[in-house]
Every structure is written in structure tokens, then in C-alpha cells.
A and B are shown apart, each in its own frame.
Chain A
Amino acid sequence: MSIIVGYIPTAEGTAALDRAITEAQKSQSRLVIINSSRGDAIVDKRYAQAEDISSLTERLDREGIEHLVLQPVRGNDAANEVLEAAEKYRAELIVIGLRRRTPVGKLIMGSAAQQILLEASCPVLAVKASA
């Protein structure tokens, strides 16, 4: 069993990661970190770069958590990548970060969080960035 967390290098993403680490420590499960990009733009700020990932793994090593960092670039939405990983690693919990979206923005862009909440077959924990 494992805990899946959708990570992006922002306040929401970090909040989700922090919470996921706490959960993983509590239940002694493996932590699977998903940081994906569709890979269709030349620059994607939501895609964590090497330094970010290495400081991340260092921290997880220090806290003694079994972990797996995945950075798929396959043209899929972040939501689909998280759901697929949840399926594959038999997730007991998915942790995601939430952010405030205007109704119009949500109408146009859709919501990755909503898709995960509706389609996941395990409990989903949604975390907001600490204000």
C-alpha cells in the first residue's frame, strides 16, 4: 500500500507534500510523489527541476520514508497521471493541493483536483496552502 501525492513546486504543492509526509510516517507506507508535465510547452514552471527533486529526496531520506519520485512527461494531464499512479501502486490515500480558482478560470481550464476527487477509487485528502 502507498500514499500518492501530486507535487508541484508551489505553496499548494509543498503543503500537500508536507501533509503527505506526515501521513506516510503515521501509517508507515510508501510515499509516491508525482510531478508531471504535459511537456508541450518549452518552459513549464510546474515541472520540478533537478535541484528541487534532489533536496526533496534528501529530506525524505532524512526522515526515513520509503519513497518513489516519478516525473512522467507523456502528454497526459496531471490528474490522469496521479490517478494512473494510484491504480498502479494500489494507493490507500491520494494527497493533493488545492488553490483558489475563479469560476470562469475553472470553466475554461477545468480542474485537476475535481477530476481526481471524482474518479479516484481511494480516499483523497485535499490540502490548502497555509495563508
Chain B
Amino acid sequence: MDVLSSLMDGFATALTPMNLLYALIGVILGTAVGVLPGIGPAMTVALLLPVATVLEPTSAFIMFAGIYYGGMFGGSTTSILLNTPGESSSVITAIEGNLMAKAGKAAQALATAAIGSFVAGAIGTSLLVVFAPIVVQFAVSLGAPSYFAIMVLALLAVTAVLGSSKLRGFASLGLGLAIGLVGLDFVSGQARLTFGLPLLSDGLDVVVIAVAIFAVGEALWVAAHLRRTPLQIIPVGRPWMGKEDWKRSWKPWLRGTAFGFPFGALPAGGAEIPTFLSYVTEKRLSKHPEEFGKGAIEGVAGPEAANNAAAAGTLTPMLALGLPTNATAAVMLAAFTQFGIQPGPLLFQNEGPLVWALIASLFIGNFLLLLVNLPLAPVWAKLLQLPRPYLYAGILFFATLGAYSVNLQAFDLMLLLVLGALGFMMRRYGLPVLPLILGVILGPRLEKQLRQALQLSAGDVSGLWSEPIAVVVYVIVALVLLWPLAARLWRARRPRTGGLVVADGPAVDGPAGPAAAPSVEAPAVEGRPVDGSAAEAPADRGPDAGRHRADAHANHGQEKS
């Protein structure tokens, strides 16, 4: 088997002591940022981009992979112990997980989350090994028009399907595409959006943009409402599971994995939808439906498995097509470009050893995460006592250092501030960050494929749908855009068949519904700590605390930076 021997070579590379060390650094950093709400793997990878350029590309990506998986593991700890999701993909886990913890079963909740994440991560990565080469085989036959169509689909789907407001999503995408346009036109050499500044003619450095939007924007946002009533954390010992817990967990783990991987692999994937679907399914299939709403272990096991499987799924289009579908994958794609590696279907051919080492390191990182997370969960929870001014001062320091070190020019610091302010304003007005970063990273490549397709057809627009796959993809694009509208009309006209529509609904209707649903459901959880304290806080604190909570919920809809 060719794939198997490549994978074994990958293991050989990933298991060298130096690379193992980077994998360990990655998973520890990843868990830490996963535990802390507001800091996510995308921000961490962005901050490490400048540092990583001095490393071997393989080592750098092994570290990034650890951060990526680690973020998914760590998010569950905060969800369960604090009822504040550390990651947007852990929002669902918080519902049952925190109730379990309140009922004195925090150890079991943490254990099923960690072991479920491990199981799903292992299965998901295996599926990645199987499917990525197949997708590559299919993708190398694609011409520029099909490629262009697939990218359009990815951008539209991420923008229109995820998040609560389509308008805000498209506004953010527009900003990203505009930022991506800055610089010289690569065909004609004409300057675009440079405002006569020669320093802009090289375009904006992706590192500076990512660091500004994720790190500076988030730091300013946190600084803007730094003070809030401290939450209560549920004390916990070492996670463990009884025989009964295992019996009730293994099926949800597998079902969660089955939901997570395909959704992650789709261009509009994300981890929020499969976690929600998994939760609903477990609720329906559970033998203990009365426990849902009081802390059912199935409601933790399923969604946690789903979000890790989705993380693995996301890597399939990222590695096989060069198509990122979440913020972390987008920043990792930027890292490829930093190293002068061309992402796309030829990645497996040209950079085979690197890619397989990366995949092998996913297996290793997954195992390391289990070792790091299970015995040390109480230690990770201590991170939450860190005063945030120190944390964010450190982040700003590294952001500035990193942005300056890329090109060693002070102009980049100005850009960092301007774009950081943009990132802050986007958070202030609820614009999702993900479409922007995808626009910046995919925009130039999208344009390249468009220009190429038009050159092939000698400027004839019909060249864009000259390939059958392109036509199919455009039909899907149309469906994605028109479906919500059509569904609404359908329901308005035939209200009596509503049950039928709902029954077959989740397959297509799912993406639009659940994205909003978790944020509706979450506040309904009884005794949310923030709720209680907002009511008790002195009058001058009250409205502010309330607003913060609303903001927090608004943010859950989008990928966390």
C-alpha cells in the first residue's frame, strides 16, 4: 500500500525526539488556549507564525497540528467546570457537561469528553488518511473553472451558512476580499488599493493581518470590558469513568464521530453544526431521556466526539484542495505560503513527506493530549485564575514583536494597529471574523483561478462553466443561497405538512437552524453563574454584566479566534 508506507515514513519523521518535543509543546499550548475563553488556536497559530519561520517546516506544522487538536480538547474543560465554553465548538458540551459537574459528576464528564475526543480524533484522522488521497486524485483533474467554482462555494457557504447574520457575514467577507486585493495586479502589474504608498504595493502580509485581527482585535475587545463578576468553578479531582459510564459513552462517541467528520470535511463545515446534531440525536436515542437537562453523560460524549472528528475532517479539504473551512485551518494555510509551499492538490505530490509527517503527528498529538488532559484537568482549570491584564499584555507584546519581525519595517506596526482596530470594531458590531480571514487568504487564489479560466477561454465568460464539475458546484451554490428562502416560502404555503418538512429537514435545513439554535438554548440552562451574579451585582454593574453576557453569546455563533 502506497498510502500506508507514506504514513509509516511520516511516523518515522514525526517520532524523532525534536519533532516529538514540538508536538508536546503544541498540545500543551493548544490545551492552554483551549481552556481559556477568548483565546483560541487560530490566534495562537497566528502569533507563532513569525516564530515558526526559523523552524523546519515539518516541525512547525507538527506544532500547529498539536495546537489545533489541543484547542478542541481544552475547550471542554471550561465548558464543564465553568459553564463558559472555551471554544465555540464546546457550546453544546456546556449544556449537559456543566449540569453533570453540578451534580457531582465532573470527573466523569471530563473523562468522557477527553476519551471521546481521543476516540473521535483517532477515527477522524484515520478517515483523513483514507479520504485525502482520494480527494487529491479527483482534484488534480480539476481545471481552473472548477477550482474557481469550488472556492466560491467555500466562501459563500462559510459566510451564508455559519453565523447568525448573513449580512454581517458578507460584510466581513467583502472586507477580507478588499484587503486581499491590496498590492500589484499579478497579470498587468497595475497598483491596486495602494493609495500611492509604495510599501503597500507588495500587498499586506498575511501574518500581520492574522495577528492584527485575531490577537490585537481580541485583546482590545477584552480590554474594553475587562471587569466582570468572577465565576464559580466547580472543584474536581482526577477524571475517571465507571463501567456504566463507559457503557453509555461508547455509542455516542461513534455517532458523534460520524456526524463530525463529514461536516468538518464539507466546505461549510465547522464544528458547531455536528455538535448540535449529535446532541439532538443522543437526546432522542438515549435510554435515559429523563436525565437530559439534569446532566446526561451522552450529551457530553456525543458532541465532544463530534467536534474533534470535525477538526480532523476540516483538514481533508485543507490538505487535499488547499481549501480552509475554519479560522485555524486558514491560518495554517497562510503558514504554508510563508514557507513557500504551494497549497492545493499538488501538495501531497510535492511535499509528501511533510504532509504525511503532519498527519502522523496528528495521531501522536491525539495520544499525547489524552495523557496531558486526563490526569491534569484540575491543573488546567487553575489557568482560569490568571489575571487577564497580564495575559493580554503578553499577547499584545508578542503580536507586536511578531508583526515587526516579519519584514522588519515600522510600517507593519501601523498596519497592525489599523487592522487591530478593525478587528475590535468587527467584534463590537458582531461581524464574524472567519469570512474576513478566509477572504484575505482565498481571495488572491480565487482571483488567480478566475484570471486563468478567463485566459483559457480568451476572455469569454462562458469559460467559467465550461467544465461539468463547475456547473454542478454552481448548482450547489444556488441551492445554498436559495434554500433558506425556498424553505420559508414552502412552509408559508403549506403549514400543515410542517411535520414532514421538519422530518427530512435536518439534512439540508440543519446548517441554517442549529447555528442560531445553540445560542438560543444555552441561556436557558438553569443557574448560569453569570445570570445569578448579574442580578446581585450593584446597580452600576448590572447592565454592563448583562451586556457582556449577550456579547459572549453573540460570539459563540462564530469561530473563536
Binding site for B on A (CB under 8 A): 37-45, 47, 49-50, 70-75
Contact = CB atoms under 8 A, between A and B. Distances in A.
B388 A49 contact: no
A39 B536 contact: no
B536 A42 contact: no
Nearest to A39: B227
B342 interface: no
A43 B232 CA distance: 6
Contact of A38 (B232, B381, B387, B532): B387
Given A40-B226, A42-B231, A50 B536 contact: yes
Nearest to B36: A42
Nearest to B389: A40
Given A47-B230, A73-B230, A41 B532 contact: no
B1 interface: no
B175 interface: no
Contact of B227 (A43, A45, A73): A73
A73 B541 CA distance: 8
Nearest to A42: B384
A40 B222 CA distance: 10
Contacts of B84: 42
Interface in B164-191: none
A40 B538 contact: no
Interface string B73-113: 00000000010100000000000000000000000000000
B384 A41 contact: yes
A101 B84 CA distance: 33
8 contacts: A40-B388, A40-B389, A41-B230, A42-B388, A43-B384, A45-B233, A49-B232, A50-B532
A34 to B, nearest CB: 13
B445 interface: no
Contacts of A43: 82, 230-233, 381, 384-385
A121 B253 CA distance: 63
B228 interface: yes
B537 A73 contact: yes
A49 B82 CA distance: 13
B37 interface: yes
B229 interface: yes
B386 interface: yes
A71 B37 CA distance: 24
Given A41-B385, A41-B388, A42-B384, A73 B228 contact: yes
